[in-house]
Chains A and B, each alone.
Chain A
Amino acid sequence: MSRTGFQLPLLPGRSPSEPPDTQDRTRALEAKGASEQVGARVRRLFGGSFHLRHVDAGSCNACESELKALANPYYDLHRLGIFIEPSPRHADGLIVTGPITLPMREPLLRTYEAMPEPRLVIAVGTCACTGGIFAGSELVAGPLERLLPVDVYIPGCPPSPLTLLHGLLLALGRVEEARR
């Protein structure tokens, strides 16, 4: 037994320094329509609920604070049938916050690999959407769209709970997108 003990196998054909490759692009094509598939299932009568897995990829915890506020009695995320899960195996969607620091790159990709399909990815906060003030830094692997196919972008620093709610419902196709 090595010193680190149990180790998950690394993703095939990927090393931490490798840039986003064609594998990512084919995955992006596969994942196209994941939002529609999940949305259609959830909108059906007795179709089920929407389960999310949250990964903090180097966030400053402001986004987490707002995500936590969604569970309070005022916003009450659960009334809409949206739940945050402790395991990626049970999740339909992946919420990512933070600019994807290098140490969190591999755990994030493993979480994504562990999710059953159809799966959708939601970028929460300016950092996950564009890198924010960390954009272009050599210590971040983000923004998220360089690693995973993003279905919904929720901007804001941090996004307010209602903005988050709008984004989550947009992922399910239950609200309209704002015109700009």
Chain B
Amino acid sequence: MQLTWLWRGLRTGVLTTRYPRRPERMPDGWRGTAVLQRDQCVVEGAPPSCVTVCLPRALSVEETGGDRRLRLDHAACIACGLCVAACPRGALSISNEFELAASSRARLISEHRPKGDRAA
């Protein structure tokens, strides 16, 4: 009887993830967090359509004296994907990156300042 289970165990092998030692990969389509392709984004519209649809206000526009920045707070992002559908230029996407933890709040915020804006 016990040998049956031993044979079963040997045949199946170890299913436990080896995560910190061996890298793990999430399947495509798994939703981790929203990421911004900086070269695509121009922060157009007041407010931009992505900021309008963002429910937890992870996306916001900050304006200080003509300087216009798009702020993406990964700590607030719930990876719903509404901003991906709303962006007319396809600058936003949902990545399947899972190693998202950070030791400080600032590391979870990415800011984008479009190039054309600085000249204007």
Contacts of A175 in B (CB 8 A): 20, 99
| Cβ contact within 8 Å between B16 and A152 | no
| Cβ contact within 8 Å between A152 and B101 | yes
Q: Which of A128-180 contact B (CB under 8 A)?
A: 129-133, 135, 145, 150-157, 159-160, 162-163, 165-167, 169-170, 174-175, 177-178, 180
Q: What range describes how many residues of B lie at the interface?
A: 20 to 34
Q: Is the interface of B mostly helix, strand, loop or mixed?
A: loop
Q: Which residue of B lies closest to A123 (CB)?
A: B75
Is A126's CB within 8 Å of the partner chain B? yes
Q: Select the residue from B15, B20, B24 with max chain A CB neighbours within 10 A.
A: B20
Q: Select the residue from A126, A131, A151 with max chain B CB neighbours within 10 A.
A: A126
Stretch of B44-52, B84-92, B105-113 contacting A (4+ beta carbons < 8 Å): B105-113
Contacts of A169 in B (CB 8 A): 20
A28 to chain B, nearest CB (A): 12
Mask for B22-44, Cβ within 8 A of A = 1, else 0?
Answer: 00101000101100000000000
Mask for A68-90, Cβ within 8 A of B = 1, else 0?
Answer: 00000111100110000000000
Given A130-B56, A133-B56, A180 contacting B101 (CB threshold 8 A): no
25 contacts between A and B (CB under 8 A): A74-B15, A76-B16, A126-B56, A129-B75, A130-B76, A132-B56, A132-B76, A133-B56, A152-B103, A153-B75, A153-B102, A153-B103, A153-B104, A153-B105, A153-B108, A154-B100, A155-B74, A155-B100, A163-B32, A163-B101, A166-B98, A174-B20, A175-B20, A177-B103, A180-B74
B interface vs A, CB < 8 Å?
15-17, 19-20, 24, 26, 30, 32-33, 55-57, 73-79, 97-105, 107-108, 110
Known A35-B103, A153-B105, A178-B102; 16 more pairs at CB < 8 Å: A73-B16, A74-B16, A129-B76, A135-B76, A155-B100, A155-B102, A156-B32, A156-B78, A157-B77, A163-B98, A163-B101, A165-B19, A165-B20, A166-B99, A177-B102, A178-B99
